């Protein structure tokens, strides 16, 4: 008979008939390592489950003050800690509101909406803003050009627009025109996005890596299909709005609902 400790509160025994075998110690060692690995994994899942529940409590506006305070303490958040909600298509999480953190990295290979900074008590409002900001993001590159990470603080009144456009909202004729354009000439969407985002046509041409004259030819073609000019401020604003509306229709069913405690 031989034995070995397993963690701080267990023992593993090996019993056999007859004399001890030379490999008994190795068998015990490997069995103990396997048991320890399983126990550690189980503890990790349990800890993640507790963290998920605490994050859900902090993000839920219906949580009581006492429950929110207890959840914040369990996540090692003081009442004055600066945090924010981050929404992705897979759900919500909490991140530290650190200006030195590269938020663009929060998107990974997908998209992210970053809520407003605040204390743990302000996380429900941050979560609402993060979800709306997520709807203003794009998958990119040519089929859905636009930003992959959007900060709620930078959106202004666009959050109001995002809250008004749902899955049942009919598409404006400008959005229908964009969809038709995208179906027939997918590369033109990236051109229009660059024209809408850049400060000048030359800057847009540089961003697209095309000659200025080539961009002008593309714009003329797009204007014929859209039915309005995008070379003046009013037309450019109309284009910007149409691109945002198209994005909101595409993200009307983003499932950013289940909290995940990736940040803590």
Q: What is the pLDDT of residues 168-188, one digit of tens each?
A: 889 999 999 998 888 888 788
3-state helix, strand, coil in the chain (%, to 5): 55, 10, 35
Question: In 3D, which of 80, 79, 106, 82 has the Cα closest to residue 92?
Answer: 106
Task: Tell whether the model's pLDDT for residue 209 goes beyond 70.
Answer: yes
- 46/238: higher pLDDT: 238
What is the H or E stretch that residue 96 is in? strand 91-96
Q: Please report the pLDDT score of residue 46 as a whole number.
A: 39
Q: CB neighbours of 166 closer than 8 A, spacing ≥ 6? A: 252
Task: Tell whether the model's pLDDT for residue 264 goes beyond 70.
Answer: no
Asked whether 255 and 169 are in contact (CB, 8 A), the reply is no
Task: Tell whether the model's pLDDT for residue 1 goes beyond 60.
Answer: no
Q: CA 133 to CA 126: how far, in whole Å?
A: 10
Specify the range with the lowest mean pLDDT, choosing from 144-148, 211-215, 241-245, 256-260. Answer: 256-260
Question: Binning pLDDT at 50, 70 and 90, where does residue 108 land?
Answer: low
Q: What is the pLDDT of residues 29-58, one digit of tens each?
A: 776 666 666 556 544 443 344 578 888 999
Question: Binning pLDDT at 50, 70 and 90, where does residue 260 land?
Answer: very low
Q: CA 60 to CA 127: how far, in whole Å?
A: 9
Ranked by mean pLDDT, which of 51-55, 76-80, 104-108 comes out on top? 76-80
Asked whether 88 and 127 are in contact (CB, 8 A), the reply is no
Q: Which two tokens stand for residue 86?
A: 């981050």
Q: Which two tokens stand for residue 61?
A: 């506006």
pTM of the entire predicted model: 0.72
Q: Please report the pLDDT score of residue 187 as a whole number.
A: 81
Q: Using N-to-C axis directions, what is the helix angle for 187-197 and 201-208, rounded to 10°?
A: 140
Ranked by mean pLDDT, which of 138-142, 197-201, 209-213 comes out on top? 209-213
Asked whether 193 and 146 are in contact (CB, 8 A), the reply is yes
Average pLDDT across the chain, whole number = 80
> What does the domain layout of the chain look like in residue ranges?
2-59, 77-250
The full DSSP string for 195-251 is HHHSSSHHHHHHHHT--HHHHHHHHHHHHHHHSS--SSHHHHHHHHHHHHHHHHHHT
**Other beta carbons within 10 Å of 169:** 12
Question: Binning pLDDT at 50, 70 and 90, where does residue 162 land?
Answer: very high
């Amino acid at each position: 008979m031989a034995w070995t400790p397993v963690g701080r509160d267990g023992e593993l025994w090996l019993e056999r008939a007859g004399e001890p075998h030379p490999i008994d110690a190795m068998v015990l060692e490997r069995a103990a390592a396997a048991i320890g690995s399983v126990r550690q994994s189980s503890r990790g899942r349990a800890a993640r489950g507790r963290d998920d529940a605490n994050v859900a409590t902090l993000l839920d506006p219906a949580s009581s003050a006492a429950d929110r305070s207890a959840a914040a303490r369990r996540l090692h958040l003081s009442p004055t800690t600066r945090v924010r909600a981050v929404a992705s298509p897979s759900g919500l999480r909490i991140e530290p509101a650190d200006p030195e953190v590269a938020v663009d990295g929060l998107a990974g290979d997908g998209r992210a909406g970053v809520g407003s900074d605040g204390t743990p008590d302000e996380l429900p409002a941050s979560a609402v803003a993060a979800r709306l900001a997520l709807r203003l993001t794009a998958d990119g590159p040519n089929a859905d050009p636009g930003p992959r990470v959007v900060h709620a603080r930078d959106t202004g009144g666009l959050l109001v627009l995002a809250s008004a456009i749902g899955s049942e909202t009919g598409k404006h004729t400008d959005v229908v025109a964009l969809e038709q354009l995208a179906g027939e000439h997918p590369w033109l969407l990236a051109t229009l996005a660059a024209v809408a985002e850049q400060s000048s046509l030359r800057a847009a041409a540089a961003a697209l890596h095309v000659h200025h004259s080539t961009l002008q030819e593309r714009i003329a073609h797009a204007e014929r299909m859209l039915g309005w000019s995008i070379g003046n401020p009013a037309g450019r604003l109309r284009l910007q709005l149409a691109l945002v509306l198209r994005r909101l229709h595409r993200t009307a069913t983003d499932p950013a609902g289940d909290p995940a405690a990736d940040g803590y």
